[in-house]
Structure 1
Amino acid sequence: MSNSNTTDFTNPSTFTLLGISGLEVAHVWLSIPFCTMYIIAILGNFAILLIVKIEPSLHGPMYYFLCMLAIADLVLTTSTVPKMLAIFWFNSREIDFSACLTQIYFIGCFSLMESGIIVAMGFDRYVAICHPLRHSTILKIPVVAKMGLAVVLRSGMLVLPYPFLLRQWRYCRTNIIPEPFCAHISVLKLACGDTQVSSYYGLFVLLCVMGLDGIFITVSYIQILRAIFSLPTKDARLKTFGTCVSHLCVILTFYIPGLFSSLTYRFGKNVPLHVHVLIGNMNLLVPPMLHPIIYGVRTKEIRDRLLRFITHKE
């Protein structure tokens, strides 16, 4: 690997991940919160899947969408965190070129999938509040399944060009990535020549998907708020709005870290590299950890079933 900085190669056999560049001496200590968040995310999302499966009263559209979100969270964290911990604990920094491209695909695909699922959950809240008498007829199980399939296909197809475009570039600068995982933009920076096709396509996916999803969510909540404010009593308004709080918290935990990370990356030129990397890692770890906690705390049916499950085991 000594010549990795200067060798001219079309496709490197491996990349070297530095972890949190600039904080290498603190890797062992950084692994503690990273591992803790990963364990919470795994246990929390598996608990959501188990509770929805064993509780017949939770077999409804909102909880099916929640299960989809839990699966996306599990795949997203598992595709990145184990390699991070291997770097922190065992200094296992090398990653195969194909494995790196696969990781990029999974990160991009399941991040977009989460965004689509959050939109679907927003549509469920819109129907439940604005058309409550038609909720069961509009969101039948086949409709929910088709919505889930559409989200999966959209994410999978839009991200599919990422690895194929990256594979065609020539890499002549270095094969060192100053992060603990393979990010699309980080690998693209290592390529030589005109890589504007990959850059513009990545920007198109970001604006098209996240932008449209944000518009759909905003329109849904404008209609939801109009319906809530038209209710006759304050108690009815608060009770109805309370059914949306969990979803609103999920929206905030998913979009705000991503927006903050993007703004810091594009405009924080004086921000140290390790701060950029840490923010990017939190963007992948914090939402999957918080999603099951939000729904576990805010949703009475899930909370009660979890307590009964724990009590029964004891």
Structure 2
Amino acid sequence: MSALSSARPSGSHLDLTGNRSRGRAVRNVVATVLVAACFALALVPLAWILWTVASKGFHLLLDPNWWGQSQRGITSRTAGGGAYHAIAGSLITAVMCALVSVPIGVFGAIYLVEYGRGGPLARAVSFMVDILTGIPSIVAALFIYALWVTLFGFGRVGFAVSLSLVLLMVPTVLRLTEEVLRLVPNELREASAALGVPRWKTILKVVVPTAFSGIVTGVMLGLARIMGETAPLLILGPYTSGINFNPFAGNMAALPTMINQDRTESLQPAVDRTWAAALTLVLLVLVLNLLARAVARFSAVRKR
């Protein structure tokens, strides 16, 4: 009798365990199906946009003149010309923005993670970064316009556009760099400190190289964030159909303003250039991201 009574709880326990296992398996299948369906649903508009842009603008990208000529002398009624002036202007503006934004973002993140550690100044910096993250691009452009043009009396040039884009890129670079630096194990810092290495050298030789691939990814995401902005270009950088390599003088073209210039025209040559410029901008951002991945991977291989 005692053996039978002792066997019953064991059997019921096994049944409950089996029911729970089956319930977990069902929930796992349902969750997997839902996640896959949401992923596929999110891909639909992305694939649609990419297909539309590629199908309508790819034929102009096959023309060598597209990469080596500007739109000087080309009207909305005539075909021809290229996007060399806009590509050069976009790259110059982005590089100048990165030269200012990357040091500010990276050093700001290093301060928040390594030195601030929740202090009053660190909390103030973090609060201001959160505010900058939500600022619309047109507000940043109007601020630089009031400061650069109205107060100082300078002209509407490419460098002013870069300054407005700095306000948009710094929060992205700083936040992503901050998160990557926090992922660096504290054991590495403690081991370096145990060897008597100063904190600044630990950061320079241990922390930053460990998080380098993540920092590069943050910089590329920041560049992708600003490459397609149009409001700062419209307010601070008037469009020109010619080539201008000097960001401190004269009007400078960019791919977003070239798209905006041609989108108002209903004639087919201008419409084709609009789609081709949009595809060029997408490919430019894609190439920058691929280069960033290559740099990060090369750095990781060297560290091993």
**TM-score over 0.5 (shorter chain):** no
TM score, norm. by length of structure 2: 0.27
- TM-score (norm: length of structure 1): 0.27
Q: Look at both structures and tell me which one has the larger radius of gyration over its CA atoms.
A: 2
Structure (1 or 2) with the greater strand fraction: 1
Which structure has more RCO (C-alpha within 8 Å, separation ≥ 6)? 1
